Structure formats: structure tokens, C-alpha cells
Amino acid sequence: MIYRKLRVTSLCSAAAIALVASPALAQNSAQQSDDTTGSSGIADIVVTAQKRAESVQDTPIAVSAIGGAALAQRGATDLTAISSSVPGLNVSEQVGQARLTLRGIGVDNISTGAESSVAFNQDGVFFSRSAAALASFYDVERVEVLRGPQGTLYGRNATGGSVNIITNRPTFTTKAGVSLTYGNYDTINAEAYYSTGLTDKVAVRLAGQIQNHGGYGENLVSGSDVDDKHSQAIRGQLLFEPTERLTILLGADYYHQKDRSNIYHYFGPAGFTAAGAPVTPTGLLLGGYNPGPRNVASARDPSNRAEFWGLRADISYELSDTLSLRSLTAYRSSAFLVDSDLNPVGNDLFPITFGETSDEYSQELQLNLDTDRNKLVIGAFYMHEKIDGFIQGPLNLRAVGGPDLFVQGFYSGGRLKTDAAAVFAQDSYSITDALRVTVGARYSWEKKKVADQSDFNFDDLYDPAAGPRFPVHRDSQTFKSFTPKIGLDFDIARDVMVYASFSKGFKAGTFNLGSTGPALDPEKVDAYEVGLKSTLLDGHLRANLSGFYYDYSDLQVGKVQGQLLVLENAAAAEIYGLEGEFTLEPVRDLILTLNASWLHSRFKNYVTADQARPAGDGTTVDENGLPAFDLSGNRLPQAPRYTIDLTAQYSFDLPGGSLTIRGESNWSDRIYFSPFNLNYVSQPAFDTQNAFVTYRLDNGLRFTGYIRNIGNETIRASGQVATTLLGSPVIGFVKPPRTYGLTIAADF
């Protein structure tokens, strides 16, 4: 079955770090404690972005690190909460899947089997399915976002970068914490963790999370809530340290969600006839109506069910004081089933169901050498994955001028198997105490096998048990790539480092599961980057800058083709930009931050057709001689030109505790959702504000009041032009409205 239901008989009551009033922006991973500032200035954060522990300020790549205390301060419960804190990162959600884009490179297709160009890793384990990336934010030590191609050290599909979540490990001292949030839309969230030593060599940690809120909108036909959330998650870890040199960490996690989220919203018309006349969507012509951006008018209530779980074994052995060996073995299972509606305007024409299950096994081996001169990593990686996915929807013949009867309609789906293997090495060698050179390389091999079907059936009346009529299409393809990296970094002064690098990125080709078409070519990117990292004013100012240029070829770009959401290879793109991260403590306990990015992302040459505008641009034809559009010079989807994130946070003492006030302002330029750069398939420039007030008692009890999206802005998270059978309406998803509430939390 596409959705394998598991009943949860017990769930460790909710989990994670409670909201913290610490005025710093990160958490020191070595100490696993809240950041503080004060006389020592802005606290440092230790990262493992290069698969070894080092200060984020000593890491010669563009990496943003957000500690667990900062995540808790903002009440972050999923990946979307960090997007405004990382220059160049755009995060949205569509049909339950995370759409991650870094510097214009990401995923532009959410059909089953699609893969992101931004790698997602949790505790070193690669997550192939983007839907599972939304289910990991509790009991988190830190999040690291590596911007730019990670073609040397990271497993698969990291042409855009990598998002790494590191959770809190078990401790031998007993620690516990709990938090409870109540807010508008009947929000009740709970989190908890418990960590202790069972013996002097064995420790355990349990953490859990429960999220519940009512609908942000309403189905005006049924009166039911939509865009609500009901999820539960639990994670357990067992740490063994049988000797001083051997460490064994076993982990297991489970996530379950069942609600009415992930329904398409109606945004307006998009179609034009060959003569250029606008087309009114079919649903409106047949008596439907516009329910507004937050509500829907669907004859059937939406349904969203998701289940993710996994196991991992992380074994490290110190061969000597400078040499260590690590084995990371993992299994991941994911399943989701989404019932939505391509015509949410008051009549029942084209309901649609998305379903996918995935089983993923991965194994990574690392040999690490850490001396005064050499920081060497040598490794091998293997992954096997099997995906079963489908998209199907019966069609009401009213949509094409027929009687009020449903026929079998549309089906696409099948099975996609992937075997991926790689060997890699990277060494950072200190030429002098101030000058270092980094050289790395990775050889990747990947084979994909597909067995899929596609059908559009107008002949047979709808029977949910019936399958597609056409035979299974089978194909396979092998992809190989060599991705090197070379870089230099130099300390031009104390606490001031400059760096420069050249690297290549690779994302394997794939099949559009359910299209029965040939394989797509791999994506490739040549990346050049320069940067500066500095800590000034006796530790009270941190200023990090990066500039980059990408030569990007064979982009896998998403579009609607018939009833399919498919990828196709665009010819090439050029991307360059500047990013800055600044943190200032002008006076004790006042922290000001500015994160900003400027991005130029343009197609260099890309010709394609738009089924919603069959006449094309009047002069261009595609490779088949059909009317098309020349998109050269258009911006890449999900790639705003400018983003600015401003925050101010101030703490001061009160009787019996302290008070922290935090304000955030996030501004983004227009975001296009398709390569055609149409204003009606975009989110115009927007600005949102959030505010937090935390009162922390000396006994560790904390009270945090929050309000997000203060102006109650309606912001589109994604959008697409649906099938011409419905008159090409624009449909998509919206971000949450104004939310506010109170969190009570404590650590013990």
C-alpha cells in the first residue's frame, strides 16, 4: 500500500529545548549550553561542515550556523523557520514537500520521485525525500546551512548546497526539559527531552514533539478547517563508550501526521487562447467562485497523511591521537498520501491524489586525519533507494463539455530504483600558520532503473480499483561524474580570514516517474567563490561576506506538461551574487543582526513551450517546430534578487530573573514560481515582522510571548499553472497568517 499506517501506542510526551532567553544567536556545540555574550563578546559556534569540529569563523566556506538556543528563542518547529536567517536560502512547502533553494539552485518539481539539488542531512544521514525534511526540528543542537556546491564531502545532489541538522546527543549527567505552547488557531504544541547515564559507559536520550493547530482557512463547501496540523514525533538515542577510543551511537526516530493540510488554493486565471484572448478557468464558467487566498471551495475535504521513520548506527574508533575511523549506517522509510483538488472553486471537476513510499539504505565510511598541518578526510558512500509513487485523479466530463460523470481520468506512477556510490577525499594543508590550501575530489557513480506507466482515460467510468490501461515502460541509465575542489584561505590579521575556491557540483540525471519518457541529463555547475570572515571590536562585531559566480548547465527545470508535473533540461544559466552576515553587540546584552543577499540568476539560453499560452511569443519555436518562448534572461524560479533580514534583541535584569525582547523584520524581493517569470505566478515583494518577549526566572522557568507575521500578510509559498482541461488556473500554497501565543518552558 502507498500509505502504511502504523498505530502509535505510546509517545514520549513532547520534546526539545524550551524557549530560552539567552541574548546570543547560537549555541556552543562543544558545551551544549546556551550562548551568552557580555564582556567576551559574541559567542562562537562549533560546526562540522567539513566533517571535523571547528569554529564557524575558521571554516573557509559560506556556512550559516544556528544554535539550538536561537531556534528555541524563535519557536522554530520546522525548516521554514530558518529561511530568513540564511542569506540566499528560500524554503517553501508544496504538497507536503520542502522546496529548498540556495542561491537559485534547488528543486523545481514536486512530483513523486523528484529530488532536490540541495542535500538534506540529519546527524550525518542523507535524506533523499524532501518531505521528511520538514519533520526534524526538535531537540536540535544546531543547524548548519552550507551554501554553494558541496561536490566533495557530501553524498548526493548537493549542487546548491547542504542543510545539516545535528540533534542533541545523550549525556551522562541527567538533564530534562519540557515546553508547552498555547496560541491562536487553537495551537497546542508540546516538546520534552530526557537524557541520563544508565552506567558510566552507557547513556540514553529520549525526545518528542506534538504539534496541533486548527485551520488557517476553511473549506467553504463543507465548513471544515483546511491548512491545520496534527503531528507527533519521537526520537531515541543510545550511546555506548565501552573504551576511551570506541564510541557507538544508535538512534531511531518516528514521525506521524494526519490532518487537512496541503490543499491547493486558487490564485487566479493564467490561460490565453492562440489568438491571445484571456481564458476564464473552467470551474468559474461552470458556476464556481473565488473563495479567497486562504479559503478553498472544494467538493471533497483534503487529506494529508505522512509517516517517516529511521534507524542509524554511528560508530567511531580512534586509531591514534590523530587518526580516527567512522562508520555511519542508516535506513530511512517515508510514506505520504495527499488528497487535494486542482479546481478548488466550488465544483467537483478534478480531485487529485499524490502518493509515495520510499525505502532508503545508506552506508558511509570515513577516515579522518587531524594534525597540526593536515586535516584529511577520506571516505566512501553507498545508497540504495526504492521509490513507489503515483499521481492520479478522476476527471468530471463537465470540464470538457460533457455530462456530469467521472471517468478514470489521469494516472502517472511507477517504481524508481537508485543505486549510488562514491569515493571522496579532501585535505586542508597548512603551508604556514596563516596560509592553508584545500584540495578535494569525489568520483560519483549512479544507476537509475524505472518501471512506470502513464494514462489519460476518457472512455471508462471512474473505478478507484482500476489501474492504467497501458503496459509498463522500463528503462535504466547510468551517470558518472568527477567533482574536484581547490581552495585557499589566509589569515590577513588576527580573527580576519579571506578565502577563495573553485569547485564542481553534480546532480545525477533522473526519470520523470510516470511520464514513460527518457532520462534527463545530469545537472552540472562550475562554482567560483571568494569570502571574508572577521571578528572585530574585541569580539563585539562579526562580519562575514561572500561573493560567487556559477556556470550552471543542463538545469532540471519543472513545468506542467499536459497533466504531468515534469522536469526538463534547460540549456544553461548564469548565477552570481553577494551575501553578508553581520552581528553587532554595541552595548552589553544588545544584539543587532543583518543578513542580506543580492542574487543575479538568469537563464543563458532556454526555449520551451507554455501550454497555457499556445501561441508562444510570436517568433520562437521549439525543437519540434511548435510555438514556444525564448526565456533567455529570465530569472530562475524561487530566486529573489534581494533579501534582507534584520533583528534586534535586548536583555536586562528584573527582580528574580531577566527579560529579553526580540524583534525581526524579513524583506524579500519578488519570487517567481516558474521560469516564464509571470507576475500572476509569483509572490510580489513582501515584508514581515515577528516579535518575542521572554521572561526567564532564576529557577530556570521561562515564559515567552510571541507574535509572527504581525501585519497578517497573505504570502504565497508556491504556485503553478494547472492543466488546460481546467482553463489553466493558477493554484498553489500560502504561508501562515498572523499567529501569536505563550510558551512556558523549563529545564531540569
Q: How far is CA 513 from the centre of its chain?
A: 21
Residue 164: Cβ within 10 Å count: 23
Q: Is the predicted pLDDT of residue 17 greater than 60, yes or no?
A: no
Residue 307: all three cell numbers together: 509517516
Residue 4 pLDDT grade (very low, low, confident, very high; cuts 50, 70, 90): very low
For 594-629, write each residue's pLDDT tens digit.
Answer: 999 999 999 998 999 888 888 898 899 888 888 999
Greater confidence (580 vs 566) lies with 580
The pLDDT of residue 110: 62
Query: What are phi and psi for residue 363, nearest 5 degrees?
Result: -140, 130
CA dist., res. 574 & res. 529, Å (int): 14
Residue 627: Cβ within 10 Å count: 17
Q: Is the dihedral of CA 339, 344, 348, 349 positive or negative?
A: negative
**Contacts of the segment 74-79: beta carbons below 8 A, 24+ positions apart:** 74/664, 74/690, 74/692, 75/19, 75/181, 75/692, 75/704, 75/706, 75/743, 76/137, 77/137, 77/138, 77/189, 77/209, 77/211, 78/134, 78/135, 78/137, 79/133, 79/134, 79/136, 79/137, 79/163
Q: Is the predicted pLDDT of residue 24 greater than 70, yes or no?
A: no
* 530, 500 contact by CB (below 8 A): yes
What Rg do the C-alpha atoms of the chain give, in angstroms?
25
Residue 292: all three cell numbers together: 479567497
The pLDDT of residue 700: 86
Calculate mean pLDDT across residues 140-152.
Answer: 91
Q: Is the predicted pLDDT of residue 19 greater than 70, yes or no?
A: no
Q: Is 74 helix (H, G, I), strand (E, B) or coil?
A: coil
Q: Is the dihedral of CA 728, 729, 730, 733 positive or negative?
A: negative
Q: Is the predicted pLDDT of residue 492 greater than 90, yes or no?
A: yes
CB neighbour list of residue 464: distance below 8 Å, 6 or more residues apart: none
CB neighbour list of residue 371: distance below 8 Å, 6 or more residues apart: 322
CB neighbour list of residue 494: distance below 8 Å, 6 or more residues apart: none
- The two beta strands, 620-621 and 627-630, are antiparallel
For 510-523, write each residue's pLDDT tens digit.
Answer: 888 888 888 889 99
Eight-class DSSP state of 272? B
Calculate mean pLDDT across residues 629-658.
Answer: 94
The pLDDT of residue 13: 33
Calculate mean pLDDT across residues 489-508.
Answer: 94
Residue 3 pLDDT grade (very low, low, confident, very high; cuts 50, 70, 90): very low
* 637, 108 contact by CB (below 8 A): yes
Domains and CATH numbers, the chain: 27-747 (2.40.170.20)
Q: Helices in 163-243 by DSSP H: which ranges?
A: none
CA dist., res. 527 & res. 3, Å (int): 40
Residue type, 110: I
The pLDDT of residue 583: 95
| Of the candidate ranges 321-335, 364-378, 504-518, the one whose mean pLDDT is the lowest | 504-518
Residue type, 321: D
CA dist., res. 547 & res. 552, Å (int): 16
Query: What are phi and psi for residue 454, nearest 5 degrees?
Result: -145, 140
- In whole angstroms, how far apart are CA 437 and each of 53, 209, 405, 427? 18, 43, 68, 8
Residue 357: all three cell numbers together: 513510499
- In whole angstroms, how far apart are CA 359 and each of 166, 197, 333, 476? 22, 33, 5, 19
The pLDDT of residue 5: 38
* 67, 35 contact by CB (below 8 A): yes
CA dist., res. 254 & res. 548, Å (int): 39
Beta bridge partners of 184: none
CB neighbour list of residue 587: distance below 8 Å, 6 or more residues apart: none
Residue 152: all three cell numbers together: 566533495
